Amino acid sequence: MLYIIHGADSFRAREKLNEIIGEFRKKDSSGMNLSIFDADSEAEEFSPGKIKAASQAAGFLSPARMIVVKNLFGAGEAAAQKEIKDFIISYGKKGKTAADFIFFEPREIGKKNKEFLSLAKIAKVFHFELLSPALVQKWIADKLGKEKVKISPRAEQTLALFVGSDLWRMEQELEKLILFKNGDKGATTINENDIEALVKSDLPTNVFSTIDALARRDKKTALKLLAGHLERGEAPLYLLTMFVYQFRNLLKVKDVIAREKSASAPQIAETLKLHPYVVNKTVSQAKAFDLEYLKKVYKRFLRFDFLIKKGRLGAEAALEMIIIEVGNLI
């Protein structure tokens, strides 16, 4: 069997890697039939020859072997990528299926990497993109549910906004919150005050900056900021979700302001059940948009989201087209 595990969400990618290795170890009584190679390791020399040798060695007390290759496409040399890819394809054609291979990449692999794409066609691929805000909240609820710890809806939303899609950090913050609540004999539910007291905010200010540029119809700056998001490894679909989320907030806030002209930011936050920080930023941004323009923009986002999900358009290309179209709207 050939597996590829990759994606910007390295936390869930690592969980899947450990899950597959764990299942193999249940069948490997000797514990000596697992080989792990890392193209990004300074501790050992990485070479295609070592991977070939490991795959051709006889299993100890078992015919099965598992070979894990980490960071080949993210850090390995081009020649090594091609040699290993050619070997894997040849290995499969010859029917030598004693060894299972896992290629693990805790990052997004570019669509221009031909060797990666060739292997992906014959592999079982697990792709882990960064979770949207709503899915981060669900992940929090699932994690705390297993620990039998409760969290209020407002606290859950605040935690998701403060930490974002970094599940490595989120797990650490949850462990801290669980320990804190276990030591608090008078309460069993994590509330918003707990989050604000114990968790440092890391709200997506760069997304706000990109939308500020759109508000000014500054397509050049918006495209530059978008490129920065992508260079940092933020998945295009995650970015699209964040933009849709914020434009939905803009519509909601603009609607409340239109109906209740004297409404303050705290009152809007309470009405819409949004975090005060998000409302403050959104109220400021809303001044640069009129309601009809926002409706047009939001419809554009929904149309591109539909095209992406139908496979008619790539997410990265869609984001660039959205920025150009939105900048041209009147």
Half-sphere exposure of 170 (CA within 13 A, CB side): 29
Q: Which residues contact 78 (CB under 8 A, 6 or more apart)?
A: 115
User: Are both 253 and 282 inside the same structural domain?
Assistant: yes
- Ranges in the chain, pLDDT < 70: 58-63, 92-98, 183-187, 202-206, 327, 329-330
User: Are both 224 and 324 inside the same structural domain?
Assistant: yes
User: Are both 291 and 239 inside the same structural domain?
Assistant: yes
According to DSSP, residue 95 is labeled T
User: Are both 188 and 218 inside the same structural domain?
Assistant: no
pLDDT tens track for 226-258: 888 787 777 777 777 778 878 888 888 988 988
pLDDT tens track for 119-168: 999 999 999 988 887 889 899 999 998 888 899 888 888 888 788 888 99
Range of the domain at 19: 2-127
Give the model's pLDDT for residue 182.
74
Identify the CATH number of the domain in which residue 119 sits: 3.40.50.300
User: Are both 56 and 76 inside the same structural domain?
Assistant: yes
User: Are both 110 and 155 inside the same structural domain?
Assistant: no
User: Are both 69 and 157 inside the same structural domain?
Assistant: no
Give the model's pLDDT for residue 13.
96
User: Are both 156 and 241 inside the same structural domain?
Assistant: no
Sign of CA dihedral 305, 307, 308, 313: negative
The backbone torsions φ and ψ at residue 34, rounded to the nearest 5 degrees and listed phi first, read -110, 125
Determine how β-strand 99-105 pairs with β-strand 65-70: parallel
Domain end marker among 78, 102, 127: 127
User: Are both 140 and 106 inside the same structural domain?
Assistant: no
Give the model's pLDDT for residue 18.
96
What is the number of domains present in the chain?
3
Residue 15, CA distances (Å) to 10, 69, 106, 288 in order: 8, 16, 11, 43
Q: Report the b/e string of 175-188 with b at 16+ CB within 10 A.
A: eebbeebeeeeeee
Q: pTM for this one?
A: 0.68
Q: Which alpha helices (H) appear in the chain, and where do they start and end?
A: 10-27, 48-56, 72-75, 78-93, 114-120, 133-146, 153-163, 167-182, 192-198, 205-215, 219-231, 236-259, 265-272, 276-286, 291-309, 315-328
